[in-house]
Amino acid sequence: MSVEDESVLATAAIEKTFRERRGGFLAWAKRHAPDEESAEDALQDAFIRAIANASALSFVEDIGAWIFSALRNRLVDLWRGEGARRRSGAVDLPEETLVEIAVAAGMDPQDALQRGELEDALAVAIEALPANQREVLRAQALGGITFRELAESTGIPIDTLMARKRRAMRKLAAALEYWMEE
């Protein structure tokens, strides 16, 4: 069978999956997205990615599982923040959290310069975390997703997710101690 024939078969499988499973995917996405529009956009993006990669997907046995993974990954990206913010490494922490961290670090919480430097240091430290720890931290601590929701969407046990967050927090604390010494 030619590559073109395989691509046509994969596209047909994607279309069939869309017709049969769109409603279920959308219902799941609505439970995990910030809003209904984001859920619909994420689902559309997952199917567009599938169609764009149809030739590569001709070897995938369960197209629905691949599309679900693409949907889940897109929603995780949404919870991480806007693309520009993610690329710049910006961290969106509530003002109270920044003040709490500043006070705990012995800084004047009113010093905007120090808070700005602290935000920058946190952004660098978060980016330096291993991917699995960074994803849990962003989704759970910064994105507001519960461990249960995260476990359901990723298939990773809650205990594993909690351990990853604990390790991430320890690494962030160590990075900030180093930052304070400089």
pLDDT tens, position by position, 96-148: 666 666 666 666 655 555 556 677 777 777 777 788 888 888 888 777 788 89
151: amino acid identity, one letter: A
What is the number of structural domains in the chain?
A: 2
The reported pLDDT for the residue numbered 143 is 76
Domain finish residue from 28, 55, 80: 80
Proportion of the chain above pLDDT 90, given as a percent: 14
Domain final position from 80, 96, 129 = 80
**What is the tens place of the pLDDT at every residue in 18-70?**
999 999 999 988 888 778 888 899 999 998 988 888 877 777 788 888 888 88
What is the CATH number for 119?
1.10.10.10
* Domain endpoint, select from 54, 80, 106: 80
| 119 vs 91: CA distance, rounded Å | 7
Question: Which pLDDT score is estimated for 84?
Answer: 42
Do residues 175 and 92 both lie within one domain? yes
pTM for the structure as a whole: 0.45
- The whole domain housing 24 covers 3-80
